[in-house]
Structure 1
Amino acid sequence: MKTKVTTNDAAESSADKISRQSQLLSAQLQSIRERLYEPEAAKTLKTYTSRDVASLLGIAESTLRQMSLDGESAIPDRQDNGRRIYTLPQINQIREHLARRRPSEALDFLPRRREGDKLQVITVANFKGGSAKTTTTVHLAHYLAIQGLRVLAIDLDPQASLTAMFGYQPEFDVDENETVYAAIRYDEQRRPIQEVIRKTYFDGIDLIPANLELMEYEHETPQAIAAGHGRGDGIFFRRLSAVIGEVEEHYDVVLIDAPPQLGYLTLGALCAATSLLITIHPAMIDVASMNQFLAMMSDLMHVIEERGGVLSHDFIRYVLTRHNPNDSPQINVVTLLRSLFKDDVLAPAVVETTAIASAGLEKKSLYEMSRGSVGRDTLNRALESVDAVNGEILHHIKQVWGRQ
């Protein structure tokens, strides 16, 4: 005789069970965040030493010290040991001061776009999980801001990983109609994009956060097309570009973290972009997936062009991520990609490192990690790798602006 086993599953539907588990996890994540960022439950940025600042600005440490003694520009705080420490807002004040004081070197100190320079809208895309799309986006945003550029980061992924990296928990901190969906939706609840842009703790970076409501755009767009929203800036693939244009005077670079699928949001991001970064983990299964992504993207881009869309990008680059330079199969894949795509593959690659993994656990980029949080050599190697990739991307941006 068999004994009948009863469980609570019989009394709870699958939808209810998943909803309950989601709520439990959300509450726990909120609790963890509050413990990490006490007492205000908000992220803050690390400070910089005089040596860090001098290296970043390309000036002698003695020059920086003399500026402090003379009361010029920002006045740093002092640690207990007497060392001067600077915040990123103070570094940017010094940048502006030096740019005014040395006009012939102004673009070196403050490389923001000038009148006539085209706003750079860079979409980071791939639909293969694990390609480090969000990690690439957040590191590039932080790097550009540290270099003195004004950055708008747009999280277009309903999973909202980029939003979380900036210290917001989507289900708690992003309310209804507070994502970019609010600015591109088709009904009377549409809002100006300026109203959904948030200042972040990272000086120089503003954010448009994401949450699951972005999926509404995918559901509503077919109905909107059928209802006649298919002309001018109102057509779905121009809507994002049009609203970015409303705030372009405030930024040098817009970074879009695209969803991991080729839906209406991603197509809007491709059309809004002046440049594309396609992240790729150099493993054969990932390359095969990317091949499908490229084929589908090509087909859809041709359809958009037939509908009057203009797809002209200043540069398209493949970013090698999580690369192990000692792994023979990966080396073979990298060699294959470079032989096929030539200079469209960025020369440096982001190496696979525990430093990036450790930073991710804390929802930080490498630029936020303190020297004692991971091994010094490990952090330095990781930073060299990420700096090399981001530096080459900045080089391409400057080329577009006619500075190289």
Structure 2
Amino acid sequence: MAVAEAQFGNDSPSARTISRRWGIQEASEMVGVTQPTIRAAELDGRLPVPDMIMKGRVEQRAGYSIAQINHMRAVFGQLPYRPEGAAPVVVGVAALKGGAYKTATSVHLAQWLALQGLRVLLVDATDPQATASLYHGYVPDLHVHEDDTLLPFYLGQRDDAFYAIKPTCWPNLDIIPSCLGLHRIESEVYPLAEAGKLPTAPHLLLRAAIETVWDGYDVIVMDSAPNLGVGTLNIVCASDVIVVPTPAELYDYVSIHQFFSMLRDLIATVDLGGFEPDVRVLITKYSLLPGSQSPWMRDMISSAFGEMVLDEVVRVTEEVGKGQVKMRTVFEQAADQRGTNRAWRNAIDIWEPVCKEIYDKLIKPRWNKEDAQ
């Protein structure tokens, strides 16, 4: 609460705004039209007159908000929504240990997808720590209580998940938040199922919840708790794509083997009707310092998991920790909210390629595959 008040002047999620602005060159690249096309549309009234500010003695464009850029996309027919008839793609981010950049990956991916104009639902699905919720201003047990989470759906008290969806300051990005009470799923779901009080098999509850609300979204991104309990099993069974963040460190290399072994055993006990998610390993905490073990660990991970390993890596950056303190990721930080422009640019250069690879290789092809059928 104190951090929110210091950053935004108010602890309410509604107090959060994105003050970052994009110049006309950035906007033209994001929208996919030329700068003269944008200027012409502003002159003929198809787009509103741009906001202007005085910079010294010269009046200049203030830059465009993400909402204005999305309006441009709509005007020029450039919104990248999923093809009609194609289902949303559900991306789960899961890891056995904490500190693997699991939540950082979930949040940056969700915001990057929204930045492209896609309609995104971020689900803080199983983690009572609720870090993904905190990133978006929802403080657990202050703004979010048990009845605001997916817990009532897990316990068979709700028929759909609309009640749990909350807006964020990002256009096109909603969130289903979490709080400490969500830990109850680990002890209460299976007894309810055994008593015949759940309409859905315990491992498919999250998938059922998502499918009740997914019509208005293109991508659903789910953050999970660092364990292999009933919550994480639900993440696995709900996902079309699973991204496993794995630090380039020896103990985490051992951990990922344990994760996949336990995952294999868990899946063997449930019926997915022949469906299996696409699983990919994302190497994180990759260090470029001389003498770092990261290159060797990358070779080890690639040798063990082959084509499952994504090409891009998340290099070590302090901006992840700073972003949590600021309650802002690098994608939403305006010029006056960055530590240094160099550090911010370095972090952008880390996260953008990672998110783009996940989108290009794991999300878009699923829509093209459905179109071809």
1:256 aligns with 2:222: yes
In structure 1, the partner of 2:279 is: 316
1:260, distance to aligned residue in structure 2 (A): 0.9
User: 2:166 — aligned with what?
Assistant: 198
C-alpha contact (below 8 Å) 2:4/2:11 kept by paired residues: no
Map 1:71-86 onto structure 2 (within 5 A).
71-81=45-55, 82-86=60-64
- Figure out how many residues of one structure are paired with residues of the other and give that number: 359
The answer for the alignment partner of 2:69 in structure 1 is 91
Change (3 A) 1:337 1:92: same
CA 176–128 in structure 1, closer or farther in 2 if over 3 Å, else same: closer
Higher Rg of the two aligned structures: 1
CA distance in 2, matches of 1:383, 1:184: 37
Q: Quick one: which of 211, 214, 237 aligns to 2:182?
A: 214
**Separation in 1, partners of 2:273, 2:202:** 10
The structure-2 alpha-carbon separation of the partners of 1:310 and 1:172, relative to structure 1 and needing over 3 Å to count, comes to farther
Q: Could you report, residue by residue, the CA deviation over 1:78-112 in whole angstroms, capped at 9, with x for unpaired residues?
A: 2233214222111111101111xxxxxxxxx2221
Q: Residue 148 of structure 2: which of 167, 170, 178 is its match?
A: 178
Query: Per-residue CA shift, 1:25-64, capped at 9, x if unaligned?
Result: xxxxx13312221257422112322232122223322322
Percent identity between matched residues is 30
Q: Which runs of 5+ in 2 are unaligned?
A: none
Letter in 2 for 1:110: L
- Alpha carbon RMSD of aligned pairs, Å? 1.9
SS across alignment from 2:92: strand
Q: Does 2:3 align with 1:38?
A: no
Q: Secondary structure at the match of 1:116?
A: coil
Task: Give secondary structure in 2 for the equivalent of 1:304.
Answer: coil
Q: Quote the residue 1:67 is aligned against.
A: 41
Q: Distance in 2 between the 1:172 and 1:191 partners?
A: 25
Q: CA deviation at 1:228?
A: 2.6
2:334 partner letter: S
Provide the C-alpha distance between the structure 2 equivalents of 1:333 and 1:218, rounded to a whole number of angstroms. Answer: 34
Q: Distance in 2 between matches of 1:254 and 1:310?
A: 22
Spell out, residue by residue over 1:232-265, the C-alpha distance to the aligned partner (whole angstroms, 9 max, x if none): x511111111121111211000011011111111
1:246 corresponds in structure 2 to 212
- Structure 1 contact 79–85 (Cα < 8 Å) conserved: no
Query: Aligned with 1:173: secondary structure?
Result: coil
1:371 positional shift: 3.4
Which structure's relative contact order is higher, taking Cα pairs within 8 Å and 6+ residues apart?
2
After TM superposition, the structure 1 = structure 2 runs for residues 335-354 of structure 1, keeping only pairs within 5 Å, are 335-354=299-318
Gap change, CA 1:325 and 1:309, over 3 Å in 2: farther
Indicate conservation of the 8 Å contact 2:50/2:61, yes or no: no
Task: Tell me the SS of whatever aligns to 1:149.
Answer: coil
The yes-or-no answer on 1:303 pairing with 2:258 is no
Indicate if the aligned counterparts of 1:162 and 1:257 stay in contact, CA closer than 8 A.
yes
Residue from 290, 294, 300 that aligns with 2:260:
294
Higher helix residue share: 1
Which of the residues 84, 101, 110 maps onto 2:79?
110
Aligned to 2:345: 380
Q: What is residue 389 of structure 1 aligned with on the other side?
A: 354
One-letter amino acid matched to 2:311: A
Instruction: Out of 198-207 and 366-375, give the one that drifted further.
Output: 366-375
Secondary structure of the structure 1 residue equivalent to 2:132? helix
Residue 96 of structure 2 corresponds to residue 127 of structure 1: yes
Cα distance in structure 2, aligned partners of 1:34 and 1:328: 39
Structure 1 residues 54 and 114, CA gap change in structure 2 (3 angstroms): same
Once residues 140 and 159 of structure 2 are traced to their aligned partners in structure 1, the CA distance between those partners, rounded to angstroms, is 19
Contact kept, 8 Å, 2:11 with 2:137, in 1: the verdict is no
1:342-395, CA deviations, whole angstroms, 9 ceiling, x for partnerless residues?
221110111112333322221211101233523323222221221111101110
CA distance in 2, matches of 1:286, 1:253: 28
Distance (Å, rounded) in 2 between the aligned partners of 1:291 and 1:122: 21
Change (3 A) 1:209 1:112: same
Aligned-partner SS, 1:79: strand
The separation in 1 between residues aligned to 2:179 and 2:11, in whole angstroms, is 22
CA distance in 2, matches of 1:90, 1:346: 33
Letter in 2 for 1:138: V
Shift in Å, 1:177: 0.7
